Amino acid sequence: MGQRQLFCLGRALLKRRRILVLDEATASIDNATDSILQRTIRTEFADCTVITVAHRVPTVVDCTMVLGMSDGKLVEYDEPMKLINKEGSLFGQLYKEYWFRTANASNYLEG
């Protein structure tokens, strides 16, 4: 799992462009590979603009800015923590739902 993503990331590392666009780069990979990809992106592309299209909350929660869209329209754009704490934020709702489901899944597996 994730071989194509790792190959593409390697190619991006070799080209050393100033802008990196990731479209659902971690959508169908396991958590270990996701962690490797995220760590590599954060360190190797620290001086680049990284545009990430993602549905996984952990993939974007430590980004500088998050842009939220609904029905093809921009609905919010701010720092992740500001959106998480903002009343009625789409990203904030996704964040809370993600961690709620993660906690419930952990409780289910333990119990």
- Over the stretch 57-90, which tens digit does the pLDDT of each residue have? 888 888 899 999 999 999 999 999 999 999 999 9
Query: pLDDT tens for residues 11-63?
Result: 888 988 889 898 887 777 777 777 788 888 889 889 999 998 887 788 888 88
Task: State the pLDDT at residue 25.
Answer: 77
Task: State the pLDDT at residue 99.
Answer: 82
- The pTM score is 0.73
CA dist 21 and 16 (Å) reads 13
Residue burial 53-72, b: 16+ Cβ < 10 Å; e: rest: ebebbbbbbeeeebbbeeee
